[in-house]
Structure 1
Amino acid sequence: MTEINALCVYCGATDSVDPLFLDQAYSFGAQLARNSIALVYGGGRAGSMGRIADGALSGKGHVTGIIPDYLVDKELAHTGIDELVQVDSMHTRKMEMFKRADAFCILPGGLGTLDEFFEIVTWKQLGMHDKPVILLNQNEYWTPMISCLNHMGKTGFIRRSPNEIFHIAQDFDHVMELLELAPVPQVAANTARF
């Protein structure tokens, strides 16, 4: 089993969603803090992003946000977190989040969340890393996408079974169980290969 000290969470940045998703993000942040797992996330203050950070902070957890300059300029950064790292681009943001995390969890979100999820699982499929990736299928949010990915696997367009690339959790307790059972990574993350 690997020791998970920092979890990168990809999630939505809009408040225009069912409040249940926002409340659940807050609870997960607090749970990370209780388990002494630092949060690495996109640095925003709105939506699930802001709520998970606030939840972690409420439990005295450590929170690092990685945010591109242009989003800071739009005043979307969470200024109350432990560390706010400004970067020059979305690509740099994703790379910095990758470097700082031992594992990844994807909460419900929109296009940006999908972009982050697909990039991190593509890197894993290509053998560029083998850090744990967990898709949190809260309230069956990701079920249509999971069906699509399974179809892609069955038709041969995904070389490895989706189950080999990421795990699916139904709730936060299941996420924590999967993190505890995660094997020690065997692939040294070599950023020169990215």
Structure 2
Amino acid sequence: MNITVFCSANALEERYTAPARDFARALGERGHTLVWGGSFAGLMGVVADEAKAAGAKLVGISVEMLAHKAYSGADELVTTANLAERKAQLLERADALVVLVGGLGTLDEVTEVLELKKHGLHDKPVVLLDTEGFYDGMRTQLRRMELEGFLPRPLDELVRFAPDGGTALRYVEDAGFTEPTEPTGVAADASA
């Protein structure tokens, strides 16, 4: 399975890198291919190194303006002209998408993927690895959108939130999204 991973290119604290490392190791050990932003920088590099060490094939999708940060050990490295082309390639190459902690670029990537999925332009599993509650705010906002009628289909059909890397991999491997996500208490918050 080709698993596209969105994550930060910044160096992060161990509380964020350790779960990402565990996820990447499991991805490689289970025979999946890592498709990612193609960078050696920050968490992107950590994930690539760990996945490669565990036997994963690496497909990097870089962009011209960041070519100086391209990961030299990728099995395949594609360089796109701009970020829009990069995002399109990351989605096109994916069988599933997993989102680790990240900043504005990661947020841009995941919201675009969810918007395209909402409109039925793909039906690939999307899972957010919610390390230390990093995506709690996003989950709350998305639940509110669902409850107030802004989403044309149930949130659980669009995205799942996983507490750890093993669960994230199970969600993408099962690819059914048949189990409801855990209750979040958002309904009460949304009416306030």
Task: Tell me the secondary structure at the aligned position of residue 81 of structure 1.
Answer: coil
Gaps of 5+ in 2: 177-192
CA RMSD of aligned residues (A): 1.4
What does residue range 50-61 of structure 1 map to in structure 2 within 5 Å? 50-61=45-56
Which of 20, 40, 49 pairs up with 1:45?
Answer: 40
Post-superposition Cα deviations, 1:110-131, rounded to whole Å, max 9, x if no partner, equal: 0000000000011000010111
Letter in 2 for 1:48: L
Indicate the larger mover: 28-37 or 157-166. Answer: 157-166
Secondary structure, counterpart of 1:54 in structure 2? helix
Cα shift readout 1:55-85 (whole Å, capped 9, x = no counterpart): 011112101110111111xx21111221111
Aligned residue pairs, count: 177
Alignment of 1:25-104 (within 5 A): 25-72=20-67, 75-104=68-97
Q: Secondary structure of 1:131's partner?
A: coil
Taking the aligned partners of 1:112 and 1:47, their CA distance within structure 2 comes to 13
1:176 equivalent among 157, 162, 169: 169
Matched residues in 1 for 2:53 and 2:72: separation? 15
- What is the percentage of aligned positions where both structures have the same residue? 35
Deviation digits for residues 128-179 of structure 1, max 9, x if unmatched?
0111111111111100111011112112222222212111111011112212
Could you tell me which residue of structure 2 aligns to residue 147 of structure 1? 140
**Aligned residue in 1 for 2:155:** 162
Secondary structure in 2 matching 1:66: strand
